[in-house]
Amino acid sequence: MVSRRFILMGLPLVGWRSGYGPAAARAAAFARRVAVIFPSAVAPCAEAVEGLRTRLPGGEVSLDLLDLNQDTFTSNVTLELARKPSVIVAVGSEALHAVLDRPAAATMASIMVSTMTLEADHAAGLQTARIHAAVYLDIPIRTLAAELRRLFPGRPRIGVIRNSSRGDPTAIQIRGQGPEMSSVEVADCSTPDALLPVFLSLRKKVDFVICLPDGVLYNGATARPLIMASLEHRLPIVGFSPAFLRAGAAVAVYPDYRSIGYQTAVVIRRCLEPGDCACGEGPQKVNVAVNAKILRILGMEFAAASFPDVEVLR
């Protein structure tokens, strides 16, 4: 069973204002177009879109899905933007850049929402004031640390690799998240070539190394050497996705992607109502999983029966 642990209390859904009859409600709804740009080939993004559709069904608004992976995407998005949708939703960093790369005039009549992105990916939109609201993938490090200490109370020492060139939290910000974070080891790494030496610098200092989401540091070229070093030096990695877990991370803590879709639907509803919908919020739920094979190789025990909320990759 995948863990669905709450970080924040969910926001209530916005309903129709009283006094609307069914016909009037339908007319008002379809005057409100929502364009959702997403890559169907990226499974987490597709899962988030399914969650969004569940909480924002087509009967409430005109919901138009624009798939980045379709050959007709360029013509489809041009036609959709010409209709001036009330809200444009970019799902994932690829979709966000596809929107931001278009002339500002093409989107200025719409409210723009980004979701399934990191705060660092959102920065460009903030600088140009083109993104109005966002649902981030970033999980607070204090939450990651709390999960590790819950699962492995006898291994309290935690290291974090941060990319100083990407806008990751500073060492001071990480340690300022709570008294229990004061002893966390923070190692800076800004290039893929430096990743392995930085990782190995944490040997004998920590029990786990948290790798924050970063498409620059963690890629096909760096993943295998990192996993091999983890096994050789018995230095467990905490990954940020199911794929990272399957590749050889000992533990993974990552957002519940369908729940991200639910959150995004709530944000869209707010943006369709009068008033300012500006916000930036992180995941309300996270999933926790362990790789049993990797834990055995590392000589670690995990009492799966004590944690029925944690998924175990055998």
Q: Do 230 and 263 form a contact (C-beta atoms < 8 A)?
A: no
Return the percentage of the chain with pLDDT > 90, whole number.
69
Quote the pLDDT of residue 252. 98
**Residue 195 vs residue 27, higher pLDDT:** 195
Coil, helix or strand at residue 237: strand
CA nearest to 5, candidates 140, 162, 178, 120:
140
> What is the CATH architecture assignment of 5-137+256-284?
3-Layer(aba) Sandwich (3.40)
Residue 147 CB contacts under 8 Å (≥ 6 apart), including other chains: 5, 251, 253, 286, 288
The ranges assigned to domains in the chain are 5-137+256-284, 141-239
Q: Do 96 and 114 form a contact (C-beta atoms < 8 A)?
A: yes
For residues 302-306, average pLDDT: 93
Residue 188 has phi, psi (to 5 degrees) of -90, 140
User: Does residue 259 register a pLDDT over 50?
Assistant: yes
Quote the pLDDT of residue 285. 97
Quote the pLDDT of residue 172. 85
Q: Tell me the two tokens of residue 192.
A: 């893929």
Residue 187 CB contacts under 8 Å (≥ 6 apart), including other chains: 159, 160, 161, 162, 198, 199, 201, 202
**Residue 130 vs residue 4, higher pLDDT:** 130
Chain centroid to CA 86: how far?
A: 24
Quote the pLDDT of residue 30. 46
Alpha helices for the chain (secondary structure H): 22-30, 43-55, 73-82, 93-100, 104-107, 119-127, 141-151, 171-175, 192-200, 220-232, 242-247, 257-272, 292-297
Quote the pLDDT of residue 23. 38
Quote the pLDDT of residue 125. 52
Q: Do 145 and 174 form a contact (C-beta atoms < 8 A)?
A: no
User: Does residue 295 register a pLDDT over 70?
Assistant: yes
Question: Of all helices (H) and strands (E), which one includes residue 67?
Answer: strand 62-67
**Residue 46 vs residue 172, higher pLDDT:** 46
Tokens 């990226």 -> residue: 42
For the chain, give the number of residues: 314
For residues 269-285, average pLDDT: 92
For 173-187, how does the pLDDT look when each residue is reduced to its tens digit (9 = 90+)?
888 886 678 778 999
User: Does residue 26 register a pLDDT over 50?
Assistant: no
Residue 285 has phi, psi (to 5 degrees) of -135, 145
Q: What CA–CA distance (Å, rounded) separates 216 from 278?
A: 29
Quote the pLDDT of residue 12. 32
For 37-92, how does the pLDDT look when each residue is reduced to its tens digit (9 = 90+)?
999 999 999 999 999 999 987 677 889 999 999 999 999 999 999 999 999 999 99
For 125-143, how does the pLDDT look when each residue is reduced to its tens digit (9 = 90+)?
555 568 899 999 999 999 9
Quote the pLDDT of residue 128. 58
Q: Tell me the two tokens of residue 227.
A: 């996993």
Mean pLDDT across the chain, nearest whole number? 87
Give me the CATH topology for the region 141-239. Rossmann fold (3.40.50)
Residue 10's pLDDT band, with cuts at 50, 70 and 90, is very low
Q: What CA–CA distance (Å, rounded) separates 131 from 89?
A: 10
Q: Do domains 5-137+256-284 and 141-239 have the same CATH topology?
A: yes
Quote the pLDDT of residue 214. 92
Return the percentage of the chain with pLDDT > 70, whole number.
87
State the pTM of this model.
Answer: 0.85
For residues 288-298, average pLDDT: 97
Q: Tell me the two tokens of residue 206.
A: 């920590």
**Residue 105 vs residue 244, higher pLDDT:** 244
- The type of residue at 212 is L
Q: What CA–CA distance (Å, rounded) separates 245 from 226?
A: 13
Instruction: Look at 95-109, 168-182, 185-199 and tell me which has the smallest mean pLDDT.
Output: 168-182
Pairing of strands 5-6, 285-291: antiparallel
User: Does residue 296 register a pLDDT over 90?
Assistant: yes
Q: What CA–CA distance (Å, rounded) separates 60 from 27?
A: 10
